[in-house]
Structure 1
Amino acid sequence: MTNALSLDTYRLLGRSGLRVSPLALGTMTFGADWGWGSDSDESRRILDVYLDRGGNFIDTANKYTNGTSERLVGELAGDRRERLVLATKYTLSMRAGDPNSGGNHRKSMVRSVEASLGRLRTDYIDLLYLHAWDGTAPVEEILRAMDDLVRAGKVLYVGISDTPAWQVSRMQAIADLRGWSPLVALQIEYSLIERTVERELIPMAQEMGLGVIPWSPLGSGVLTGKYTRADLDAGGGTAAASGTRKNVAAANGSLTERGLGIAEVVKAVAAESGKTPAQIALAWALLHPAVTAPIMGARTLEQLEDNLGALDVRLTDGQRARLEQASAVELGFPHDFLARPMTRGVMFGDVKIAARR
């Protein structure tokens, strides 16, 4: 069973000494620019409650609600900024027609950080993520630029998001060998609907010292139980963050027959536990030892209060097994091959090896 948690029972982020709450507050919902976010007053209520409960880990990005998210975070944080761990991201383009306003390269990174500092009303960013791998910038350029920003005091820690495991591990090895700032956080999609990251990304993060920060732990809202098969008419959704949450869920690949089937099991566990489906889904994500802090994307204070209830959930071994059976994915080669009795037999014979402490 899980142990009860609290926002002020802090966790270390990856190989760093930085202390963060076990649930991060996602602020992609701060601002109504995309048609489904929170206005300034509701955003303030959400942030105030999160901070009052001891939370300190705020997640945003340069592009969220076209920059409004960062502006609201900076405005609402006010004189509480020092107690916060502010995480933001660069990569996404902010100016149409400018080929260098987005991407992973140095110019994009440095200019994005300068703009984020202004919107956030601060002189340093606690954690800067590369937002998504664009496949064009040399890794040495990225890592050295990150290290330069750390040495300049504009960024304290660096992380990476939405990037292949082999590239992240390569970058971490280069940073270590050259004495540059290491990557301490890996932000990836992880939920009962999206578990393919258990193949490579999560084991890599554990081995290389990156704390896993799951985004969309509720499967774009599908795991809350608010969608039914009647909602499958959304098709694949449009390739845009604006519109409706239903559109985003469809475009993200969460609103499918499989996703709804997993949500049914989540609802069943929630009913027998006296909890909500969202609380069960978040509690499950918190169980993985590699996970530091799932990101809550609450749009209303009511949703935030519900999400925070996940800290009190205690899943039984049987409930966890049901959830994982319903959402299981094949690990594929070489993982399945290496786990086969025949393979292990020819490798180890009758040798017994204790698990590493």
Structure 2
Amino acid sequence: MPLDHYVTLGRSGLRVSPFCLGAMTFGEDLGWGTSIEESEAILDRFIELGGNFIDTANIYTKGHSEKIIGDHLAHDRSKRDRVTIATKFSGNLYIGDPNGGGSNRKAVIAACEQSLRRLRTDYIDLYWLHNWDKFTPIEETMATLQDLVQSGKVRYIGVSDTPAWKVAQAQLIAQFRGWTPFIGLQIEYSLLERTVEGELMPMAEELGLGVTPWSPLKSGILSGKYTRKNAGTVQPDRGPWAARHLEEKSYRVIDELERIAQELDTTVARVALSWVQSRPGVSSTIIGARTLAQLDDNIKALEVKLRPEQSAALDALTAPTLNFPAEILGIASSLHAGGTIINGQSTQLLPFGPSKKGDHY
């Protein structure tokens, strides 16, 4: 699959590339990251290869990420109009200001205006709620986003890092009031983070949200840089945040990724990225790149096709333990079909009723 094999995002007509360029590392304002020159080269290369989906946020490198993107694309209006720029609100750039962040009307409108200025554009293609603000009624946030869409400053909206029940509430409020609904769900998803399969992924499928996973390599743990052989000798770039994941479970996954990478004559990172992108419900995976070489290498993951037995091996190795009521629902599904398993023995029971419209027993 090439980078210009565009897919629609969720239940919308917005066409985006299967990989989204994450710009969290654009700028060196936090003491790490990518220089302006390298960031611009990465942008150009991504667009040259057919990528049209760029993801940033108002708080990435204290706003510099947005400014780098805006300053570079503003030189060519046609290029800006060809790409889908996604940015986020909720983060507070003004510590001490109680309305400098969050999802209330004052904060959202101010954040949008500031992002528009940094991005040097008059509209944002996709505006993400970065994370749930439990102090603001979701009706207030959704009404504000509706106003921004109607004003032409925002084209589409999405939601990130928010509980499934709150996303469902927001989506249904929008549906019943005729407001603009979310079209995308941005969540952490990788071979080492699959708990989202319990609630968030099924919710996204049911409510028409295209999933755009972040951290598909688990902060670089699945990049191939860290192996069982060099355990303890190579320190993660992101310090304690990533180091805590260098444990036996991770090394078992890395071992299997190495085995599959050898079979396919590719790299560990590409296999891990291919697994994420092939998951049901995933529209476009967010890949970060601190160098041009990293970008080129990661994009080649789109050429990797995992065989069924290879995907099955990774699935079995990392299958998550899902929270209640996952187990009960699994039993109930069997009961709905007229049978169940008790103490390892198959038992026929009277069903509770049809499992879906049109079923007959």
CA gap 1:37/1:313 in 2 versus in 1, 3 angstroms: same
- Give yes or no for contact 2:216–2:286 (8 Å, CA) kept in 1: yes
Tell me which residue corresponds to 2:217.
218
Post-superposition Cα deviations, 1:18-77, rounded to whole Å, max 9, x if no partner, equal 000000000001111122211011111111111001100000000001111000011122
Tell me which residue corresponds to 1:249.
242
CA RMSD of aligned residues (A): 2.0
Alignment of 1:152-163 (within 5 A): 152-163=151-162
Tell me which residue corresponds to 2:324.
333
- Give yes or no for contact 1:232–1:255 (8 Å, CA) kept in 2: no
The ranges of structure 1 where at least 4 consecutive aligned residues each deviate by more than 6 angstroms after the TM superposition are: 231-234, 350-356
Match of residue 349, structure 1, among 338, 343, 348: 338
The unaligned stretches of length 5 or more in structure 2 are 340-350
CA gap 1:194/1:231 in 2 versus in 1, 3 angstroms: farther
Tell me which residue corresponds to 1:307.
298
Q: For 1:265, what is the secondary structure of its paired residue?
A: helix
- Measure, in 1, the Cα distance between the counterparts of 2:117 and 2:88: 14
- Give TM-score, length-normalised by structure 2: 0.89
Alignment of 1:157-236 (within 5 A): 157-228=156-227, 229-230=231-232
Tell me which residue corresponds to 1:284.
275
Post-superposition Cα deviations, 1:296-317, rounded to whole Å, max 9, x if no partner, equal 0110011101110111001001
Q: For 2:232, what is the secondary structure of its paired residue?
A: helix
- Give yes or no for contact 1:216–1:295 (8 Å, CA) kept in 2: yes
Task: Count residues in correspondence.
Answer: 339
Counterpart residue identity of residue 76, structure 1: H
- Measure, in 1, the Cα distance between the counterparts of 2:355 and 2:162: 34
- Measure, in 2, the Cα distance between the counterparts of 1:22 and 1:14: 13
- Measure, in 1, the Cα distance between the counterparts of 2:87 and 2:210: 16
Tell me which residue corresponds to 2:255.
264
Which one is further off, 143-152 or 96-105? Answer: 96-105
Q: For 2:316, what is the secondary structure of its paired residue?
A: helix
Counterpart residue identity of residue 84, structure 2: V
- Give TM-score, length-normalised by structure 1: 0.90
1:35 and 2:37 are equivalent in the alignment: no
Identity value in percent: 50
Tell me which residue corresponds to 1:240.
none
> Whose Rg is larger?
2
Q: For 2:127, what is the secondary structure of its paired residue?
A: strand
CA gap 1:333/1:61 in 2 versus in 1, 3 angstroms: same
Q: 1 or 2, which has the higher helix percentage?
A: 1
CA gap 1:248/1:231 in 2 versus in 1, 3 angstroms: farther
Post-superposition Cα deviations, 1:167-186, rounded to whole Å, max 9, x if no partner, equal 00111000000001000010
- 1:249 is displaced (CA, Å) by 1.9
Post-superposition Cα deviations, 1:216-273, rounded to whole Å, max 9, x if no partner, equal 0011100012125316988xxxxxxxxx4234424xx644432233222212211221
CA gap 1:355/1:221 in 2 versus in 1, 3 angstroms: farther
The unaligned stretches of length 5 or more in structure 1 are 235-243
1:47 and 2:49 are equivalent in the alignment: no
Q: For 2:212, what is the secondary structure of its paired residue?
A: strand
CA gap 1:180/1:326 in 2 versus in 1, 3 angstroms: same
CA gap 1:106/1:297 in 2 versus in 1, 3 angstroms: same
